[in-house]
Chain A
């Protein structure tokens, strides 16, 4: 085991000791959404007046909006008055008492992913008696970051302790009324992460180690904000390859990134929420708004995502390339198996001169999965010499799944250079037979071929994440070939 895995294991084995959500009581409010509910949420979190006003403004906007219907996804209508918008973190006593009480199917998946036992317990929500003194590990990290002036805390903490930064940046990239789900999130967001990297600082570690624990507390309406000041650099890893116990069906997260002059943000996600069962029952509806603003000159924002979970994925991590010479990247693997549906892609909005964007999307459909790539490249009038390269590849496994591609290209400046490549392939009987004829069985052959197909994206992931992502694909593809 690598040191970082051990660290994670140790961190994971403790319970909310240095938790981000602190002064909340163990209670839940009745389902439904109203101004009173939002006031209550804000009061529970002891938020300042401006934050409450911000939420209310979002809510009033949301009331006038309607759920978007343009995506290539189909689901039962969501009853927004049936959702509980505030729930304090579950107390340990509510969870299963031991792994014996946890769904064996979930445990089998953990096993396959090689998740350490302690971490399995945490992910499954087992009441763990934490005896390790891992607080010190966390504190060491925090101290090291603080020394460099890096702020890394929960959104709730940031609102309390860094109100000037939150007020300045929150909603800058994804305005409160940007879209239906973003407005909902703005009104009721539960928690999330806040990162500020000061001028000229290169964050010495990938900001991930805490996250497996943070994720427990963020709830269904996650809000994350990352600001990289001039010349700074940060890598942020979101998510976890192991599925987590989760009772919420609707997730509506918002992530905003801001990169100033010469700053770089690399944001990687592995999304493996519950996809529903083999017959398409249950599963998470994941409606996410992620957007980065390359505000400064020569700034760079890079999104990498591996999406294998959720019954429905609606997600378009985007870049607004405002600074001259700024760079936006989007690398994506989206896999749908059984009855999963994904409508995902990106938007690259070129505003500044000499801006460059790269899109590499790999969609894999198996079972009855439906996979849609939807991407927009927009070159604005003043964006001289903008360049875009897009590559969208789809792979089909079996004959009951679907792959769809909707590229939108809008060029308002004649100096733009655009390249678009697209391909759709059926995983070849030829390829599988070739592997078989060398002694490799079909399941291994499929995972090998799919991993090969995704290679261009995986190599953008940090090493350890990449290895986990490969394993995850293997597990997610199980049973997709007869």
Chain B
């Protein structure tokens, strides 16, 4: 891991400690620990309902989730103190599992507003129309997106695959430091999956980190992670190298779930 230096202290880009989160009184995350360094790609795998998407939403700042304990430090900021738009402006990006439709607002208009909000935060001036169009054209190629999607309303009437590609396109234009991809592979056919993976791989750099959340190992053959974590019942129960994903593919999640139940029972006793 390449830690970053703030003052005299060294930090990972993202450091999550004992994070506990409740939704409507139910504890979904039961103490997550995770460190992500610059340039790293972490995969988080796990069965449905294990809390993967909750983690993604909490990182992005969704209000409905109540953080009941722990801390998240991102680039030296107490992330949990920042409103969601500030997190985005500081370079955090979430690719939604279910991208939201905004009827009547064109994709380009939306992106330009987003990019300018981020630029303003960095003390840069607004991007002019020509430069913006150039940037957008270049990034569209990355995800082989049809130009017609630019002027259509955000995600409105997009197919499932188009929506997911649009998320990666947004990511490419906004150029985040840390990107969280929440089940970007779900609902994609193999060709679309490859295109999305190529887009992500093209953006990998020593300065940028990724957290790739997925249910299937399939995506990880295209986006090869540095670290794989397995989440079960709101906890990370195992971490390892990329070969862990293969092991999971083979054995399923059941054996890990049993381990957890066993451990919980032991604690209970």
Interface residues of A (CB under 8 A from B): 428-431, 433-442, 444, 448-449, 451-456
Question: Is B34 located at the chain interface by the 8 A CB criterion?
Answer: no
Chain A: minimal CB distance from B98 (Å): 8
Chain B residue, CB-CB nearest to A452: B104
A439 contact from B63, B85, B96, B104, Cβ within 8 A: B85
Interface residues of B (CB under 8 A from A): 60-64, 83-85, 87-89, 93-94, 96, 99-105, 109-111, 113-115, 117-118, 121, 153, 170, 174
Chain B residue, CB-CB nearest to A453: B104
Chain A: minimal CB distance from B92 (Å): 8
CA distance A442 to B100 in the complex (A): 15
Chain B: minimal CB distance from A467 (Å): 13
Q: Assess the A448–B88 pair: CB atoms within 8 A.
A: no
Q: Assess the A438–B100 pair: CB atoms within 8 A.
A: no
CA distance A201 to B11 in the complex (A): 75
CB contacts (< 8 Å) of A442 on chain B: these are 85
Contact A428:B100 (CB < 8 A) given known A437-B84, A448-B113, A452-B153: yes
CB contacts (< 8 Å) of A454 on chain B: these are 104
B174 contact from A434, A439, A441, A455, Cβ within 8 A: A439
Contact A439:B117 (CB < 8 A) given known A431-B100, A434-B96: yes
A437 contact from B64, B88, B105, B115, Cβ within 8 A: B88
Can you report 13 A-B residue pairs in the complex whose CB atoms are below 8 A from each other? A431-B101, A434-B100, A437-B60, A437-B84, A438-B88, A438-B111, A439-B121, A441-B117, A444-B117, A448-B109, A452-B103, A452-B104, A454-B104
B104 contact from A438, A440, A455, Cβ within 8 A: A455
Q: Assess the B88–A436 pair: CB atoms within 8 A.
A: yes
CB contacts (< 8 Å) of A438 on chain B: these are 88, 110-111, 114, 117, 170, 174
Chain A residue, CB-CB nearest to B59: A437
CA distance A451 to B100 in the complex (A): 17
Name, among B93, B105, B121, the residue most crowded by chain A CB atoms within 10 Å (CB to CB): B105
CB contacts (< 8 Å) of B99 on chain A: these are 434
Q: Assess the A439–B114 pair: CB atoms within 8 A.
A: yes
CA distance A452 to B156 in the complex (A): 11
Contact A431:B102 (CB < 8 A) given known A439-B85, A440-B85, A441-B85: yes
CA distance A433 to B58 in the complex (A): 12
Name, among A438, A439, A440, A444, the residue most crowded by chain B CB atoms within 10 Å (CB to CB): A439
A453 contact from B83, B103, B114, B121, Cβ within 8 A: B103
Q: Assess the A439–B94 pair: CB atoms within 8 A.
A: no
Q: Assess the A449–B88 pair: CB atoms within 8 A.
A: no
CA distance A437 to B114 in the complex (A): 9
Q: Assess the B102–A440 pair: CB atoms within 8 A.
A: no
CA distance A449 to B100 in the complex (A): 12
B100 contact from A430, A444, A452, Cβ within 8 A: A430
Chain A: minimal CB distance from B35 (Å): 23
A448-B113, A449-B105 provided; 4 other pairs, C-beta below 8 A?
A438-B111, A439-B174, A441-B117, A455-B103
Name, among B60, B61, B115, B117, the residue most crowded by chain A CB atoms within 10 Å (CB to CB): B117
Contact A436:B85 (CB < 8 A) given known A451-B104, A452-B103: yes
Please name the 5 residue pairs, one residue from A and one from B, whose CB atoms are nearest each other, closest first.
Answer: A452-B104, A452-B105, A455-B104, A439-B88, A438-B114
Chain A residue, CB-CB nearest to B155: A434
Chain B: minimal CB distance from A60 (Å): 49
Chain A residue, CB-CB nearest to B89: A439
CB contacts (< 8 Å) of B100 on chain A: these are 428, 430-431, 433-434
CB contacts (< 8 Å) of B121 on chain A: these are 439
CA distance A383 to B222 in the complex (A): 64
CB contacts (< 8 Å) of B62 on chain A: these are 433
Chain B residue, CB-CB nearest to A434: B100
Q: Assess the B89–A448 pair: CB atoms within 8 A.
A: no
Chain A: minimal CB distance from B110 (Å): 7
CA distance A456 to B105 in the complex (A): 11
CA distance A454 to B89 in the complex (A): 28
Chain B residue, CB-CB nearest to A441: B85
CB contacts (< 8 Å) of B85 on chain A: these are 435-437, 439-442
Chain A: minimal CB distance from B213 (Å): 15
CA distance A451 to B99 in the complex (A): 20
Name, among A436, A449, A451, A453, the residue most crowded by chain B CB atoms within 10 Å (CB to CB): A436
Name, among B60, B111, B113, the residue most crowded by chain A CB atoms within 10 Å (CB to CB): B113
Q: Assess the A433–B104 pair: CB atoms within 8 A.
A: no
